[in-house]
Amino acid sequence: MLTVETFTKGFTHPFMRKILTVLVFLTCAALLVINEINFRATNLAFDEAATARRVNLQLQSLMLAVSDAESTQRSYLLTGDERYQADFIQHMSDIDTQSAQLSTRVQVGVRDSVDALLAHVRDKQKIMGETVAMQMAGDVQGWQRIVQSGAGRELMRKIQAQGAHVIAFNNLRLKRFDVQARQSLQIARLAMAGMLLFAVGMIILIWRQTVAKERREARVQQMLEAERIQLEKTVEQRTESLRRLAAHLQLVREDERARLARELHDELGALLTTAKLDVARLRSRVDKSSASAQDTLERLAHLAQILSDGVALKRRIIEDLTPSALSNLGLVPALENLTRDHAGNTGMAVVTRLEPVQLGKDKALTVYRLVQEALTNCSKYARASRITVDLWAEGDTVHVRVCDDGCGFDTSQLATGSHGLAGMQYRVETQRGSIQVDSSPGNGTTISAQLPQDPAPEGGVT
């Protein structure tokens, strides 16, 4: 009967030990070869992925520069302000720079698509340059004909579609590179594990230590410890995945808000402005000597007021979607504007104590949305007459607090549909912060949050 003892005794023969030694060395050599091949393949994949990412960033910068140039072009055409003309010239220069850099970095697989994109960009530059030149020359009807033809919008649509196509293609390449890198790592892992198992098995067989009770107990203990560590790692990975998912969802939401704001600004804003210009033109052409002139002028004035109200409503909607004060002035001025507008709209007394803090763009937006949601909840549910908003830094932590003297609620009986408070919590935890809600019936509500302060001032929002 073959037992572990008799099996291991055969491997203690000198000849068998030599064979095992050769097998161990061959296994090590094979492992080194596999690792070297995997290293080169992974390194190549990482280099190509880095190039694809750079091209995507360059494409996004180019498309942003074209969008900025189009925005300043429209502003200059509508206002004639020379500051917009200077901004337009700078953006056109940025487009040329971005186009030249993109042309030198593009990969072979997307060369034709990028060339087509750059051709659309050049055509778009030509149209914008012609309209600005006409405005400078006083040819208003000329640039209006070009704008009303829709050629610029069609080129912008082609630029966006072509850019999205190239970015999507690069994203597919990035996914393929990621799969290739993971496969290489998996092969290296399996090869290493196989080599280690083989070497450990050979050593165990040579020295006949596999049947000892202490060895089995130690192995079982190691397996249990490894399982515990693996479970802890799994929990950490799942928690991190959920945090990243929450961050991604918040990013998608803010991106969608920004997209809607851009659509309203670019499309609806242009339509309303054009309508106002048409009304003004009609008013100037009314025959004031006719009997119905006064009624016509009143109706046109009423129409102009409606259009102005529409422009103001559009601006308020855009401001709610993407607070411009936050990006242009900083967190403290943005919160001051927010609380001041809330006090004016609701009649509540809002007291602010805001100190400058160092927060990045995402964290500053988190604080802004938290205060905005808290103020909204106060106006909807709290029946409060006074609200206090505090912002200060203490050490490496930024504190924000919103208090009201409203009716309060029982925090242990929150409804499952309380998406506002849940949204606050997800936003804050996504930025590695914490949030507390203190309230009881008849004693008001206090919402407090803590976020880690960014030490470096560059790129931060105060």
Q: Are residues 273 and 416 in the same domain?
A: no
- Quick one: which of 404, 400, 405 has its CA closest to 354? 400
Residue-level pLDDT at 199: 67
Residue-level pLDDT at 208: 67
Q: Are residues 222 and 205 in the same domain?
A: no
CA angle at 59 for the pair 54 and 61, rounded to the nearest 5°: 95
Residue 20 in any domain: the answer is yes
Neighbours of 81 (CB within 10 A): 12
- 349 in Cβ contact with 388 (< 8 Å): no
For 301, 379, 405, 420, the CA distances from 383, given in Å and listed in that order, are 40, 7, 8, 17
Neighbours of 53 (CB within 10 A): 15
CA angle at 168 for the pair 167 and 171, rounded to the nearest 5°: 85
- N-to-C CA span, the chain: 80
Residue 459 in any domain: the answer is no
CA angle at 362 for the pair 360 and 365, rounded to the nearest 5°: 105
CA angle at 106 for the pair 91 and 52, rounded to the nearest 5°: 100
Q: Are residues 117 and 239 in the same domain?
A: no
Residue-level pLDDT at 450: 94
Residue at which a domain ends, from 187, 211, 235: 211
Residue at which a domain ends, from 185, 211, 237: 211
- 335 in Cβ contact with 391 (< 8 Å): yes
Residue-level pLDDT at 207: 66
Q: Are residues 206 and 221 in the same domain?
A: no
The stretches of 80-105 forming alpha helices (DSSP H) are 82-105
- Local structure of 83: helix, strand or coil: helix
Q: Are residues 188 and 269 in the same domain?
A: no
Q: Which residue has the tokens 């109706």?
A: 299
Residue 272 in any domain: the answer is yes
Handedness of CA 316, 321, 325, 328 (dihedral sign): negative
Whether the predicted model's global pTM rises above the 0.75 cut: no
Q: Are residues 206 and 218 in the same domain?
A: no
- 11 in Cβ contact with 20 (< 8 Å): yes
On the CB side of 259, CA atoms within 13 Å amount to 7
Q: Are residues 183 and 296 in the same domain?
A: no
Neighbours of 76 (CB within 10 A): 24
Residue 462 in any domain: the answer is no
Domain that holds residue 284: 213-322
Residue at which a domain ends, from 303, 322, 341: 322
What CATH number does residue 350 fall under? 3.30.565.10
Q: What is the count of structural domains for the chain?
A: 3
Mean pLDDT by 10 residues, the chain (462 residues): 49 60 73 74 72 79 84 85 86 85 72 82 86 85 84 83 81 78 74 72 66 78 91 84 70 72 72 79 73 76 82 73 76 89 88 91 88 88 90 92 89 62 80 89 91 69 50
Q: Are residues 333 and 410 in the same domain?
A: yes
- 38 in Cβ contact with 185 (< 8 Å): yes
Beta bridge partners, 354, equal: 391
- Local structure of 399: helix, strand or coil: strand
Q: Are residues 116 and 54 in the same domain?
A: yes
Beta bridge partners, 55, equal: none
CB neighbour list of residue 317: distance below 8 Å, 6 or more residues apart: 261, 264
Q: Are residues 39 and 130 in the same domain?
A: yes
CA distance 160 to 263: 14
CA distance 112 to 20: 58
Residue 461 in any domain: the answer is no
What CATH number does residue 49 fall under? 1.20.120.1730
Handedness of CA 283, 289, 291, 294 (dihedral sign): positive
Q: Are residues 278 and 316 in the same domain?
A: yes
Q: Are residues 36 and 58 in the same domain?
A: yes
CA distance 433 to 422: 14
